[in-house]
């Protein structure tokens, strides 16, 4: 089967550099190259010949500056992704990345002059990967209605799935995050995007949480009889904290399954903790007093406040995935990660890095002092049977 070639524009004012870059791209294989000397010319070419998959350009450009070009090209939907060439300060590149994202484009990475065909091939691979993710995201699944969700809860169609957390040094499993999936009888396995908004709107989040806890704690008890310790982390929405019954229900389940409270963590997104009422704080305190752990999730993604770490009884920080994504490219992200890791250690709080996708990220995070990680580089979310089989294979391999 013949693969459709990528269409790449080289936007470069220097004719020699432009020609050299175009040749490198052709050497990378299966690439159709379009060349332009400045932004106005590039817009004209793209308007008349069609858009491109990737634009490769320097930030310094004669005539129309690259920011104006990107804005107009994005508005006209003439490009999909961007590669920046040349040497620029980390803080400038970080802001460019944010602007590119706000324009609805994808920044594949940076490339210095001179560069090799191998470097370009790596960025082409990044495009194929990001394009596949974007294509999958465009598959729109209708939001479930209240009647179907209530019926699914009653029929036991929601199942706990498990994504492992790992020790970055030993690659041993530290526990699992418990996620929800809907095994619809007429459709494929449905993700939370389909049903979570409906559950929240209909105040059914507690029903889902208790279902997840029953399944996961039963699995934990089963694993414990075979000598395997399995820590569990459940996602908790801030709105659930207003319920005075929640902590009592959690305690009853822990007692029923003889689960050590210290083996259970509740993860709360920090953006949901902006306004903490007395009832919410009481619920958090009760969970901590019974021995459960509390993790502040997606830390750094919203309105982070160090005061929140002091005022609320969290004992774990879960750093947002954007930091793991940028760790290999952005010095500031590395400094933030290292600082948060030291802060967590000083406060007696565990620090979890989520969103790790490559071994390079994993190795760099380890060098920054990070201990616990989570992400696709280790494993995607698994069903109960898949997790049991995976744990059995891991124990057999270790033995």
Closest CA to 349 of 321, 311, 307, 309: 309
φ and ψ at residue 93, rounded to 5 degrees? -65, -35
Q: State which H helix or E strand residue 62 sits in.
A: none
354 as an active site residue: the answer is yes
d(CA 125, CA 329): 17
DSSP string, 241-288: GG-TTHHHHHHHHHHHTT--GGGEEEEEEGGGGSS--HHHHHHHHHHH
Among candidate residues 12, 146, 354, 360, the one labeled active-site is 354
Question: Measured at the alpha carbon of residue 78, what is the angle toward residues 6 and 87, in degrees to the nearest 5?
Answer: 75
Q: Are 10 and 18 in contact (CB under 8 A)?
A: yes
d(CA 223, CA 227): 7
d(CA 371, CA 122): 28
C-alpha torsion sign, points 231, 237, 240, 242: positive
Which residues are known to be catalytic? 354
């Amino acid at each position: 089967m013949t693969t459709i070639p990528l269409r790449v524009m080289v936007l470069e004012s220097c004719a020699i550099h432009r020609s050299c870059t175009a040749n490198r791209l052709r050497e990378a294989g299966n690439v159709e190259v379009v060349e332009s000397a400045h932004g106005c010319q590039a817009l004209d070419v793209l308007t008349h010949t069609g858009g491109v998959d990737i634009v490769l350009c320097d930030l310094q450009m004669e005539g129309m500056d690259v920011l104006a070009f990107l804005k107009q090209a994005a508005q006209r939907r003439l490009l999909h992704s961007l590669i920046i060439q040349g040497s620029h300060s980390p803080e400038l590149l970080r802001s460019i990345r944010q602007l590119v994202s706000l324009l609805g484009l994808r920044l594949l990475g940076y490339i210095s002059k001179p560069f090799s065909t191998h470097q370009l091939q790596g960025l082409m691979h990044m495009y194929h990967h990001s394009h596949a993710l974007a294509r999958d995201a465009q598959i729109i699944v209708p939001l479930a209605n209240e009647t179907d969700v209530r019926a699914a809860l009653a029929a036991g169609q929601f199942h706990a799935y498990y994504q492992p957390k790992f020790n970055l040094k030993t690659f041993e499993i530290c526990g699992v995050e418990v996620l929800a999936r809907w095994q619809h009888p007429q459709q494929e396995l449905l993700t939370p995007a389909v049903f979570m908004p409906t559950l929240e709107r209909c105040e059914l989040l507690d029903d889902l949480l208790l279902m997840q806890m029953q399944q996961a704690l039963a699995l934990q008890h089963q694993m414990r009889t075979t000598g395997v310790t399995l820590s569990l982390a459940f996602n908790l929405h801030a709105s659930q904290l207003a319920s005075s019954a929640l902590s009592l229900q959690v305690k009853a389940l822990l007692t029923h399954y003889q689960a050590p409270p210290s083996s259970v963590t509740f993860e709360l997104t920090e953006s949901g903790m902006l306004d903490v009422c007395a009832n919410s704080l009481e619920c958090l305190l009760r969970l901590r007093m019974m021995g459960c752990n509390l993790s502040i999730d997606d830390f750094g993604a919203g309105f982070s406040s160090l005061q929140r770490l002091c005022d609320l009884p969290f004992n774990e920080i879960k750093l947002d995935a954007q930091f793991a994504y940028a760790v290999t490219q952005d010095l500031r992200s590395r400094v933030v990660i290292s600082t948060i890791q030291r802060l967590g250690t000083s406060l007696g709080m565990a620090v979890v890095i989520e969103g790790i996708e490559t071994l390079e990220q994993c190795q760099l995070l380890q060098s920054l002092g990070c201990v616990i990680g989570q992400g696709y580089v280790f494993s995607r979310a698994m069903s109960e049977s898949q997790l049991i089989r995976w744990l059995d294979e891991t124990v057999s391999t270790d033995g």
